[in-house]
Structures are given as structure tokens and as C-alpha cells.
Amino acid sequence: MIIQEKTACCVKDLGLMDYEQVYVQQKQYVDRLLNGSVQALLLCEHPAVLTLGRMTNESNIFVDEKGLMKRGIGVHHVDRGGDVTLHAPGQLVIYPILNLAYFGRDIHNYLRQLEQVAIDLLESFDIVADRIFGRTGVWIGKKKIASIGIGVRKWVSFHGLAVNVNMDLSLFSIIKPCGLDIEMTSLSEIKQETISMEEVKRRTIKCFFRNFYLEEASD
């Protein structure tokens, strides 16, 4: 980390919100930051939706468009790295709108820091998670619990980190998550109980502020 003093960041809890609406807000916050405003963390859940990153191989989606529509699952091609992923209620999605100039303009390091946020979050629930070399994200054994896909515009980050909390993991059967032959897991599956999303949000914010040396600011 290059940063030497805390930088300002506001937090917006958007609740359950349509993917496209949140994407519009991300772009607005990116523009604001480029024009001198503070950084932001946007927290939300999405109705069921597939997002297809720049590296998506559509053979990794096992249900055709009609089948997805029948299930009420939206599809969006997005300007982030990576393959196909899935968002749904019970998954916490965090969109950090951060000025990477504060962090050495190092995208690889930024990805590792996002992983560390998820690792620290899980540790706060007494869950041991780790990285797997060559695979972005956070894992518990061979199962993936947190997915990462980012975009960067003029060294401002957008898109971000998704942590499976209480979501219906069976939804992942319609895709090959991130283009990998893997199983997904969640906090509730590991703890064998429903986890408070509000508590997860609270701890996530704390982990972000500690790892990125942020201080809270008004919007």
C-alpha cells in the first residue's frame, strides 16, 4: 500500500436493487470522484442476474435465454474482467469506487486487497478462508465463497466483490462460475444457520476501512 494518510470514503447501503440501477449509480460515483468528490463503498443485494465479463465464454451458461427469462433471471454484459458470475438475494455485493492512485496504481495489489477484505470478514465469523494461486477470489477448501471482478477508469475502480451470505446456492448450477469447474459455498452453509446481513455489512465496512486506510465521510 502506497497511501500514507487516511482518505475519505462515504458508504451507501442500497438494499435490494436492480443490477442496472446500481450500475448507473457506480458510473455516477466514478464521475464524481474524477471531479474531486470522495471515494465510495456501495453495498447492496441484487435480484437474480447473470453478469458477463469481458472474458465470458457463453458455453459456461447452461440455460438459454428463454429459460433464464422463465426463471426471472436477468443477463447483463458488463465492463469488468472475468467470466460469467451470478448475483442473487442473500449475496452481499460491494462496489468500491476508489482512487487507485492512493494505492500505487497497482491492479494486482488491489485485487489482493479485496481478497484480504473477504478473508478478514470471514475470520471475524471464525471461518478460515484463503486464496488459491492463479484464481482470483476467496476460498474455503476447494469451495469458493467470494468472487471478484473489477473495472478501472482513469485509475478509479468500479465493480467489485461479492460474498455469498444466505443465498440459494442451487442457482449456481445454471453456470460454470467464473468459467471454473467448482462448487460455491456461503456463510450460512458453513455456519449452518442464517446469518444477519446487517451484521455482515457492518463487519465488511470495518474490514474495508482498515485494509484501505479509509475514514468515513458524508456523501
pTM for the model stands at: 0.94
Structure confidence at residue 4 (pLDDT): 63
Using the predicted structure, report yes or no on whether residue 13 has a pLDDT greater than 70.
yes
Structure confidence at residue 209 (pLDDT): 97
CA geometry: angle at 86 spanning 80 and 87, to 5°? 95
Q: What's the CA gap between 99 and 103, in Å, rounded?
A: 8
Structure confidence at residue 1 (pLDDT): 52
Measure the N-to-C terminal CA separation of the chain; round to a whole number of Å: 25
Say if domain 7-211 classifies as CATH 3.40.640.10: no
Structure confidence at residue 192 (pLDDT): 96
Active-site residue set: 178
Is residue 174 within 8 Å of residue 70, measured between CB atoms?
no
Q: What is the pLDDT of residues 95-127, one digit of tens each?
A: 999 999 998 899 999 999 999 999 999 999 999
- Neighbouring CB atoms inside 10 A of 125's CB total 14
Using the predicted structure, report yes or no on whether residue 60 has a pLDDT greater than 90.
no
State the helix-helix crossing angle for 107-123 and 197-211, rounded to 10 degrees.
140
Least confidently predicted of 24-28, 177-181, 186-190, 202-206 = 177-181
